[in-house]
Amino acid sequence: MMMCQQNGRARMSEEEITVEKVLEALKMVYDPEIPVNVVDLGLIYDVQVNQQERSVYVKMTLTAPGCPVGFLVVEQAKEAIRAMIPSVKKVEVELTFNPPWTPDRMSDEAREILGFI
């Protein structure tokens, strides 16, 4: 929270929610079988922020549709966003497998960690 001056009085202002901040938060979430975060793995397909509603929408996938702990990754994503951006009031994470994830979605950093480069 930041302090703002309005009509000579200080008031609290909630910090701005940005796509960049959401992606930073999501970098704290790791695939349970791969030592790379979900952003660098290329599992995040879309991030939308609604400042008025203080809400975040994330569309993401998993490396494999049959992942038995996929629901945990989704919950970790929600928790990371709430923890890193406390002014968020609502977080929705949609899990999709269309299009399916492929390794070419990974960042160069992820490719290096996993030995693709």
pLDDT at 10: 38
pTM for the predicted model, two decimal places: 0.84
Burial 63-93 (b: 16+ CB within 10 A, else e): beeebeebeebbebbbebbbeebeebeebeb
pLDDT at 12: 44
User: How close are the terminal C-alpha atoms of the chain, in Å?
Assistant: 42
Helices (H), the chain: 19-26, 70-84, 108-113
CATH number of the domain where residue 42 is located: 3.30.300.130
Average pLDDT of the residues in 56-75: 93
pLDDT at 66: 86
Sheet holding 55-60, edge to edge: 44-50, 55-60, 90-95
Residue 35 lies in a domain: yes
What's the domain count of the chain? Answer: 1
Residue 3 lies in a domain: no
Write out pLDDT tens, residues 10-51: 334 578 999 999 999 999 999 888 899 999 999 999 999 999
pLDDT at 13: 54
